[in-house]
Structure 1
């Protein structure tokens, strides 16, 4: 991951956003304090999808713990599929 200072980001926003299309860029303040991370829209979409998938897995596991067994139809309905 690339890192740039907040002042560098302010002065070169377009270049930083261009660089973020290839890999995340962290914005640092006061030398090392992480203030933000700039990522590409594709990276963001994949990260959100992965988090949503993980939440679905956890919900299914919780449902199994609660009742022991969950029908396929109930699980699909709960997940909105």
Structure 2
């Protein structure tokens, strides 16, 4: 008799593997650690790109104006 958990883990090493439940559909997706790490890195990269774009859209403050505002 095979161990279903081992089967899911082995399958996830090749590709993301869905675990489903009757009537409830997809309940979870099992992925390899490498896939998970790449996915997290891609999400972090996207967040950094968005943050940089947002920062470029903000009004710029001249150094002299900042120094004056700070009383320096």
TM-score, length-scaled by structure 1: 0.66
Please say which structure displays the higher CA radius of gyration: 2
Task: Give the alignment's TM-score, normalised by structure 2.
Answer: 0.74
Does 28-37 or 51-60 show the bigger shift? 28-37
Q: Which has the higher contact order (CA 8 A, sep 6+)?
A: 1
Deviation sequence 1:42-75 (CA, Å, 0-9, x none): 000000000000000000000011136xxxxxxx
Find out whether 1:47 has 2:39 as its counterpart: yes
Runs of 4 or more off by more than 4 Å in structure 1?
none
Match of 2:54 in 1: 62
1:17 aligns with 2:9: yes
How many pairs are equivalent? 58
Structure 2 unmatched ranges of 5 or more: 61-72
Structure 1 distance, partners of 2:13, 2:59, is: 45
**RMSD, matched Cα:** 1.5
Gaps of 5+ in 1: 1-10, 69-81
